[in-house]
Amino acid sequence: MNDKRRDFLKLCSLAGLGIAAPRTSRAETKETPPYAGPFYVVFNASGGWDTTYLMDPKGVDGINRLYQEGDILTQGAHKFAPTDKKKDGGMSNEEFYKDFGSELLVFNGLDYSVNNHSPGARYMATGKLDSLACPTFAALVAACKGPACPLSFLTFGNYSNTGNLVAMSRVPYLPSLKKVALADHLEGNERSPYHEDFVLDRIEQTLAEAHDATLQQPRLPRLERAENMLYAAQVNSKALQRVVPFIPKSIPKERMAQQAEIALASFAAGVCVSANLTIGQFDSHANNDRDQMKLIPEFLQGITYFIRRAEELKLRDKLVVIVQSEMGRTPTYNGGNGKDHWSIGSVMFLGPGIKGNRVIGATDAKQFARTVNPQTLALDDKGIRVRPEHVHESLRQFAGIDQHALAKKFPLGVKAPEMLKGFWG
Amino acid sequence: MNTALPALAIALVLLGSTSQGADTAYTGAACQAPMDTAFVEDVWGKVASQECLKCHKAGGDAEDSDFVLRDPSKVLGEARDEAMRHNRAAFIKMARASEGDQSRLLLKAQGKLKHKGKAVLKPDSAGYRILADFVKRVTAPTKPVEVAEDKNAPPFFDGIVMLDDRRLLRRATLSLAGRLPTDDELKLIQHDGLKAMPAMLDAVLKEDAFYDRLREGFNDIFLTLGIDGNADATVLAYEHFEKSRLWYQKEKFDEIADPKEKQQAKYRIAREYREALLGEPMKLIEHIVRNDRPFTELVTADYIMMTPYTSRGYGMFDQIKDRFKDVKDPFEYIPVRLTALKGRSRQTDQESASGFYPHAGILSTFQWLTRYPTTETNRNRLRARMYYQHFLGVDVLELAARVTDAAAVTAKCKVPTMEASECVVCHKTLDPVASLFQDYWVFADKGVYGRRKGGWFEDMFQAGFEGDDMPAAERWRSLQWLGERTAKDPRFAVAMVEHAYYILTGRKVLLPPKDLDDPIYNAKRRAYAEQRKQTEAIATRFAKNGFNFKAVLKDWVMSDFYRADAVASVAANPARRTELDDLGLAHMLSPEQLDRKIEAVFGEGWRKLHNGDGGLAMLYGGIDSKEVTERATDPSGAMGAIMRTMANDVACKNAARDFERPNDERLLFRNMEPDVVPGSMETDAKIKHTIAHLHERVLGRIDSEDSAEVARTFRLFTGILDEAKQKRREEQENYSCRPDPDHVRVADPHYTIRAWRAVLTYLLRRQEFLYE
C-alpha cells in the first residue's frame, strides 16, 4: 500500500467515512437478535460525593466530624467510613461492603484536574477534559457493541454526549416503555393492529426500497447520516416488544429503583447495552454531613437494588458496574458546615472479569492524591497522577473496544508507559 | 457557544489580503496595510487567542506584565484591525527578545522564565511548532512570509445543490409559522423565484404562529419555563408581594352555583395565572420582535410584560387596568414598569433612585433570576456563567483549563479564585459579573431580591465588567449598568445570531477545532471558518440595522447554510467530506414542531406529543426545561417506535375522514374516490396524480407522475389491493379508523381506503416528513 493510499484511508477513518454514518442497506437493518451482554451500567453521584464518608476514610485533622480515624472499618482489603449509626435512611457502608467488598475494585486518589461541575462531569464521563465531541464511555461502548439495539444507550441524566455515534434514549417512566413496545397496535393492544400483517409488510418493504434508493444518490454527509439513523431507529424499534415481559407490575418509589427497572428490563430484553443512572444533590456546600449521610446510603441502596434485581433476572454475571462522581469534597468544612469542591476523588468497579477485594491508589492524610506506578499499580512518588483518561483507557481495554474504529476516532492520548497495567486484576 | 470569539473573526475579515514583510509592524489603515495572514490564522487563531489572551489582557491576571494583548472580538471595524496589529507587534517584540540563544516567547510558552501561567505548550505540540515557525520568520526578516490559506481550495459551496425555491418556502413557513405555503405564495415564488422570499418572510414573521415558535425557541435557550414549584410562590416573593401574589385565592366565583364547577374555575384561574407568570420573559422577547424594537432590549428593556392576572400578583392591577383591552384575558401582555420593591420592613425596601425596579430586560426578571438561583457558596457565579452564555455566547466552562494539581492550588491559597493564576484566569472575568448580582441575594423559594447581611463578599473580585469597575453610585441599577455594556459588546450581536441559528436548525454553531495535530484539522477549521464568516456577516448587518431580530432570521433563511440540500457528486476526498460534514439542515423535528406539521398537513394535530399526562414529548426527545434541557437530535429506537405509532394513528384518523369531506374541502384525496381502482390507463393516471399530490403535501416533494418515487408508492397501493383481493378481506375499514366516534364503521369494499391509509402511513414515516 503506498503512502498516499494509506493516508487516504486514515483520513477516511478520521472523517467518519464508513464509521459514524455507515450506509445501511435493507439487509443490514433487519431486526437484530437480542444483545446478550455484557451490560454496562454507570452509577453517578451528581454534584460531587464526599469520598471520605465512603471508600477513602480519613477521620483526622477535622476532615470528618462524624467519626475519628480509630473508627474506620475494614472488609478484606477495603477500608471504609462507618455510617451505620449516622445514616439517614438507605444502606450503610457496613452493609454494602459486607455484601460486595469481595467483588469491589476501588481506585482512590483520582485527579479530576478541575473542580467545576460541568467540566468535571464531562471529564469523568468521557475521559477527555478538553473535548466537547468525545462520547461518554457508556455511549461509546453501546455504539461499539450494539448500535442496532433500539435503546442501545439509555440515560437518566448526567453528561451523556454520544459523539454522534449512537442515539441517546431517555425513558423517564416505566409506563413509557409499554407505550412504545407495541407501536403497530392501537393503544399498545396486541389484538388491535392498525394494519393487517400483509399491509404492514408491504409498507416496510416500500420504506426499505425508498431507503435504498435514497442511498444511491449523492447526499450531504449530514443528510445521509440522518437517513440512516432514522431508518435504523424505525426498523430496530420493533425489537422493543421484547421488553414487555420484563416490565414489573408495580413501580418502585425510590428514584434509583425506578431507573433500575427501566434499565434492567431493557437489558433483559436484549435491547440495551449501557445505561447511565444518576441521582443528584450531592453538592453539599451548605451542610455536608447531613446531605452526604442521606445521599450516600440512598445511592448504595440503589446500586444494591440494581444488582439484586439483576440476579433475579439472571443478568448479574453479565453486569459491569461503574460507580462515580464528578468531583470530591474538600478536606475542610466551610463556614456553613458544608464542604466545597475538591479535585481529588475515587471510583469503584464491580463485575465479571474484575478482581475484587482490591484498592488501588490512595490519598494522603490531607486528601491529596498519591502518585501511582502504572506498571505495578503500587504507590510510587515517581509514578503518575492517575486521571480520568487513564481510567477510561483501562475501561476501553476491559470492554475490548480500545482498538475499535469508533474508539480510535476519539483517542484519549494516554501514552503506552502510562497505561495502567493489570488494573482489572 | 464560543469561548474564543476573537481569533477567527479577525482572520476572516483579513483573509485574502497579501502579507507584508514580517519584520514590520503595521502602522497604516487596514486597507493600506494588509495583515500578516499567517500570524492571524496560525499564531493568533490557533494559539494566542486560545492560550495567551486569557491572562495577557487588560483586566487579566497578567495585565501588569510587558506582554498585554488586545481582544479583537470586543471591537469592530478599524479598531479590530488595530487590535490585531497591536497583538502582532507584541508577539514580534517578545519573539525577538532572547534569553541565552532562545526566544523569550518560546521559553515562556514552555513555562520557563517564571511564567506565571506555567507551561501552556509542550515542545512537541503543534501549537509550539506554530510559535517556533513564527519566531523563525520574524527573526529572519528577509524570508518571505508563508500565507496560511490554501489558495487552491475550491469555493466552499462548490458542488453544493441548494434547495429549490418552492421547497425553501415550505421549509420556512413550516418552521417559522407552522403552516404550509398558501397557493398565492407558491405562485409568487414560482414566478419571481428567490427574490420574492424576503417580502414573503416579512409577512410570515408577522403571523401569531411565528411568535409561538419564537417563544418556544428562546425558551429552549433561556429555559425560564423550567422554574420549580408554583410560579406565584417562587417568582413572586413573600417578602415583597405578600399581600398581592395570592390574589386568586380570594376570588369567590359567586356566579357559579355548582360547587364542582366553582372548584374547577378556581383551579383554572390559578393555573392560568401561574402560566402567565412563567410566560412573561418570553413574552418580552415577543414584544420586542413583534414591534420591531431593537433586540438589545433583551438586556436593556426598562419594563416587563404583565397581564391582568400577573399585574394583580405584582399589586399593580389598579394602576394599569385601563391599558388592557380585556381585563379578563389572563394572557393579554402589556409592557409595564414595576415600582421599586417594598419589603415587609423598611430595611428590605429596594433602593431605587428612579422609584422603579431597575429593569434590564430578561436579565433582571424574577423568572430568569429564579431559574438560575444563587447559593451561599455559589455567590451568583451560576448567574454570571449563564449571563455570558445567554447574552454574549461565551461558555466559560466549555473547555476548562487543566490544572497540574487543582487540589494543591485550592489548599495553598487562602482565596484561590483571587490568588492562584489557574483560578484567576476565569474568575477575574466571572466574579465581577457575579458581584453585579449582589443585591439579588435571596435563596431558593424565598424570592430573589435582597441584600446580603454584613455586606458583599470581599474575598472575590468586585462588581464590574471586563475590566471596568462598577461605580458605587450605580449599585442600585447594577444590572442596567451591565445590560448597557452588554448591548454595546460586539459579542452580543454574534450571540443573538447564533441563537437564531439554533432556533432555525436545532443545533449550535460549530466550535473552532482545538486539536492542531488532528490530520483533518484544516478541513474542520475551514468548515468552522465559513460558518463563522456567515455568522459575523449577519451579526454586522444586525448591529448596523438597529438590531432587528427578524432580519437575522431572514438572513439565515436566505443563506447558503440554510438552503444547502445536496451534493452534485459524492465527495471522494475525506477532507472535503469533513468540510461538508455539518452542512445541510437535516433537523429532526421536535415533538412540538412535529405536531404542528401534522396539523398543517392534515388540518388537525396528533395531540399526543405534549408534556405531562399521557404525553409522549419526553420520550420523543423533548425537554422539560428543568432537568432535561437539551433536545434529542437523533432518533433512538424508542423514538422510532413513536414515529411508527404516529404514522399509523394519523393515517388511521385521516384517510377515511378525508374521503368523507366534500371534494373541494379535501386536503388529501381531491378528485379521488374509494371506487377508483387501478387497471386502466385512466384510473392509473388518476391514482398517480393523487400520489404526486400526497408527496407534495406530506413530504414537500415535487415529483412528476412518471417519476420513480411515484411509481414506488403506486406499487405499494396496487400491491396491497391485489393481495387484498386474493385474500378476500372484509369489506369495512378498521373500526378504530372511523372519521369520528359517532360514525358507523366505514364501508371499504375495494380495500382502497385501507390502501390509501397504508400510503399515508408510509409517507409519514419518511425522513422528508419527520425532519426539516
Q: Say if residue B223 is in the same domain as residue B349.
A: yes
CB contact under 8 A, A164 and B567: no
Chain mean pLDDT for chain B: 88
| Residue B603 is assigned to a structural domain of this protein | no
The model's confidence at residue B3, banded by pLDDT at 50, 70 and 90, is: very low
Q: What is the average pLDDT across B565-591?
A: 89
Higher pLDDT, B331 or A3: B331
Q: Say if residue B257 is in the same domain as residue B274.
A: yes
Q: Say if residue B192 is in the same domain as residue B217.
A: no
Q: Say if residue B131 is in the same domain as residue B26.
A: yes
Alpha helices in A241-323 (DSSP H): 255-268, 288-312
pLDDT of residue B146: 36
Higher pLDDT, B26 or A149: A149
Q: Is the peptide bond before A38 cis (omega within 30 degrees of 0)?
A: yes
Phi and psi of A363, rounded to 5°? Answer: -115, 160
Residue B370 has pLDDT above 50, yes or no: yes
Residues spanned by the domain of B183: 170-205+488-508+517-579
pLDDT of residue A7: 43
Residues spanned by the domain of A400: 39-418
Q: Which residues contact B282 (CB under 8 A, 6 or more apart)?
A: B214, B215, B218, B219, B222, B224, B225
How far apart (Å, rounded) are the C-alpha atoms in residues B554 and B198?
7
Q: Which CATH number characterizes residue A381's domain?
A: 3.40.720.10
pLDDT of residue A31: 60
Alpha helices in B39-182 (DSSP H): 77-96, 104-109, 126-139, 165-177
Using a CB–CB cutoff of 8 Å, tell me whether B367 touches chain A: no
Of B400, B520, B582, the CB nearest to A14: B520
pLDDT of residue B729: 77
Give CA torsion, residues B434, B435, B439, B444, to 10 deg.
30
pLDDT of residue B595: 96
CA closest to A329 among chain B residues: B407
| Residue B385 is assigned to a structural domain of this protein | yes
pLDDT of residue B513: 84
pLDDT of residue B401: 61
Chain B positions touching A225 (Cβ under 8 A) are 586
| Residue B307 is assigned to a structural domain of this protein | yes
Residue B84 has pLDDT above 50, yes or no: yes
Q: Which of B558, B579, B600 is a domain's end point?
A: B579
pLDDT in tens, B473-520: 999 999 999 999 999 999 999 999 999 999 999 999 998 887 777 888
Residues of chain A with pLDDT under 70: 1-32
Q: Say if residue B250 is in the same domain as residue B297.
A: yes
Q: What is the average pLDDT across B598-622?
A: 88
With a CB-CB cutoff of 8 Å, which residues 461-490 of chain B face chain A?
none
C-beta separation of A55 from A347 below 8 A: no
> Where are the strands (E) in B337-402, listed by range?
none
Of A230-239, B546-555, B566-575, B646-655, which gets the smallest average pLDDT? Answer: B566-575
pLDDT of residue B258: 94
Pick among A196, A217, A326 to test the B interface (most B CBs inside 10 A): A196
Specify whether the backbone of B664 is left (phi greater than 0), alpha (psi in -120 to 50) or beta.
alpha
Q: Say if residue B218 is in the same domain as residue B230.
A: yes
Q: Which of B352, B371, B390 is a domain's end point?
A: B371
| Residue A33 is assigned to a structural domain of this protein | no
**How far apart are the two ends of chain B, measured CA to CA in Å?**
23
Q: Say if residue B353 is in the same domain as residue B363.
A: yes
| Residue A14 is assigned to a structural domain of this protein | no
Domain count, chain A: 1
Nearest to B217 by CA among B584, B490, B585, B496: B496
| Residue B625 is assigned to a structural domain of this protein | no
| Residue B50 is assigned to a structural domain of this protein | yes
Alpha helices in B375-442 (DSSP H): 381-392, 406-412, 416-419, 421-436
**pTM, whole model, 2 decimals?**
0.82
| Residue A15 is assigned to a structural domain of this protein | no
What distance lies between CA B102 and its chain's CA centroid?
Answer: 47
pLDDT of residue A188: 78
pLDDT of residue A148: 83
| Residue B688 is assigned to a structural domain of this protein | yes
Pick among A161, A230, A368 to test the B interface (most B CBs inside 10 A): A230
pLDDT of residue B730: 84
Q: Say if residue B363 is in the same domain as residue B381.
A: no
Domain count, chain B: 5
Specify whether the backbone of B239 is left (phi greater than 0), alpha (psi in -120 to 50) or beta.
alpha
Residue B20 has pLDDT above 80, yes or no: no
The model's confidence at residue B133, banded by pLDDT at 50, 70 and 90, is: confident
Q: Say if residue B315 is in the same domain as residue B389.
A: no
CB contact under 8 A, B635 and A130: no
Q: Say if residue B564 is in the same domain as residue B650.
A: no
Using a CB–CB cutoff of 8 Å, tell me whether B414 touches chain A: no
* Sequential DSSP letters for B571-588: --SHHHHHHTTT-S---B
Pick among A46, A223, A415 to test the B interface (most B CBs inside 10 A): A223
Q: Say if residue B215 is in the same domain as residue B176.
A: no
pLDDT of residue B35: 62
Chain B positions touching A371 (Cβ under 8 A) are none
Phi and psi of A372, rounded to 5°? Answer: -125, 140
Using a CB–CB cutoff of 8 Å, tell me whether B572 touches chain A: no
How far apart (Å, rounded) are the C-alpha atoms in residues B507 and B488?
26
| Residue A25 is assigned to a structural domain of this protein | no
Alpha helices in A78-185 (DSSP H): 93-100, 117-126, 137-145, 174-181
| Residue B752 is assigned to a structural domain of this protein | yes
pLDDT of residue A327: 94
pLDDT of residue B77: 65
Q: Say if residue B338 is in the same domain as residue B428.
A: no
Using a CB–CB cutoff of 8 Å, tell me whether B377 touches chain A: yes
pLDDT of residue B732: 92
| Residue B158 is assigned to a structural domain of this protein | no
CB contact under 8 A, B638 and A150: yes
| Residue A342 is assigned to a structural domain of this protein | yes
Of A194-208, B71-85, B189-203, B406-420, which gets the smallest average pLDDT? Answer: B71-85
CB contact under 8 A, A169 and B616: no
Q: What is the average pLDDT across B323-348?
A: 95
pLDDT in tens, B391-445: 999 988 765 566 667 788 777 788 888 888 778 878 888 999 999 999 999 886 7
CB contact under 8 A, A206 and B716: yes
